[in-house]
Amino acid sequence: MKKAFLLLSLAAGTFAASAHSPQHEDFKFFKPKKGDVTAEAGLVGGILNSDFTLNNNAGMLRGRYFLKNNFALRLGLNLSVENAKDNVYGPGNASGFTSTTNTGFMVNLGVEKHFKGTARLSPYVGGDILFGIANTRTKSEADNGGVYQANYAALSTQSDYSLGLRGVVGADYYIAPRVYLGGEVGLGLMKTWAGEAYTEVNGTATTAPSAGSEFNFGPSIVTGVRIGFVF
């Protein structure tokens, strides 16, 4: 009887250990480790506003490469193109238009230091260098300030350049193995320079010097709520 009880106890203990071990091991796969890559995007919406969309205002598509289990390089990219076209009309079937295209490019390169947190929570601090270019191009044909004018043609272009530094504090929470939601706030400075402005009207070109520069310093929410994946 004692032998049967001992064998039953041993079997139960072995089963419990085997059942507990995989669950314990699973925690190792929630967070990224050395050599892993993450990809993420900022989101807006949800809860009362039930539609989730990409956060285009704060928005960067970002990735990280973990040099160590708790240290990563980070790269963010944002490319945007907007175009608007306004038509004007003259006598008969005559018409003209003005087309404006705005193009923006922003890149940030930085590092992150992650702390222990919990099995699912990974808090971190980091820093970024940021560089951006914004360009505006306006083309008009037979449209002089919203009024139809035959044989009128104009073209103007102007670019701005930005350079900045930013410190960040954030956290990732792993809702499933290798899938996380995150948030991040930053404190940074950014300087923007206006480039030369080029204008051409009916074949006559002029170039205006830079209109100046602008300096900003302050806190910000970086990309809002983020969803990311570990590869």
Number of H helices, E strands in the chain: 1, 11
Q: Are strands 179-201 and 213-221 parallel, antiparallel or unpaired?
A: antiparallel
CA-CA distance, 109 to 72, in Å (whole number)? Answer: 11
CA-CA distance, 140 to 156, in Å (whole number)? Answer: 9
Rounded to 10 degrees, the C-alpha dihedral 23/29/31/32 comes to: 170
- Beta bridge partner(s), residue 184: 170
Asked whether residue 65 is domain-assigned, the answer is yes
For residue 87, the SS3 value is strand
Asked whether residue 56 is domain-assigned, the answer is yes
Range of the domain at 74: 31-230
CATH code of residue 186: 2.40.160
Asked whether residue 19 is domain-assigned, the answer is no
Asked whether residue 21 is domain-assigned, the answer is no
Can you give the length of the chain in residues? 231
In 3D space, the residue among 169, 197, 174 whose CA is nearest the CA of residue 185 turns out to be: 169
For the stretch 11-23, pLDDT in tens is: 344 334 334 444 4
Matching residue, tokens 């006559």: 204
Asked whether residue 107 is domain-assigned, the answer is yes
For the stretch 140-174, pLDDT in tens is: 999 999 999 999 999 999 999 999 999 999 999 99
For the stretch 176-187, pLDDT in tens is: 999 999 999 999
Quick one: 116 exposed, middle or buried, by C-beta within 10 A (0-12, 13-18, 19+)? exposed
Asked whether residue 23 is domain-assigned, the answer is no
Predicted confidence (pLDDT) at residue 230 exceeds the cutoff of 70: yes
> pTM (2 decimals)?
0.75
Structural domain count, the chain = 1
CA-CA distance, 207 to 204, in Å (whole number)? Answer: 10
Determine the distance from the C-alpha atom of residue 201 to the mean position of all C-alpha atoms in its chain, rounded to a whole number.
Answer: 38
Asked whether residue 3 is domain-assigned, the answer is no
Among the ranges given (11-25, 103-117, 197-211), the one the predictor scored with the smallest mean pLDDT: 11-25
Report residue 18 as tokens. Answer: 């085997």
Asked whether residue 175 is domain-assigned, the answer is yes
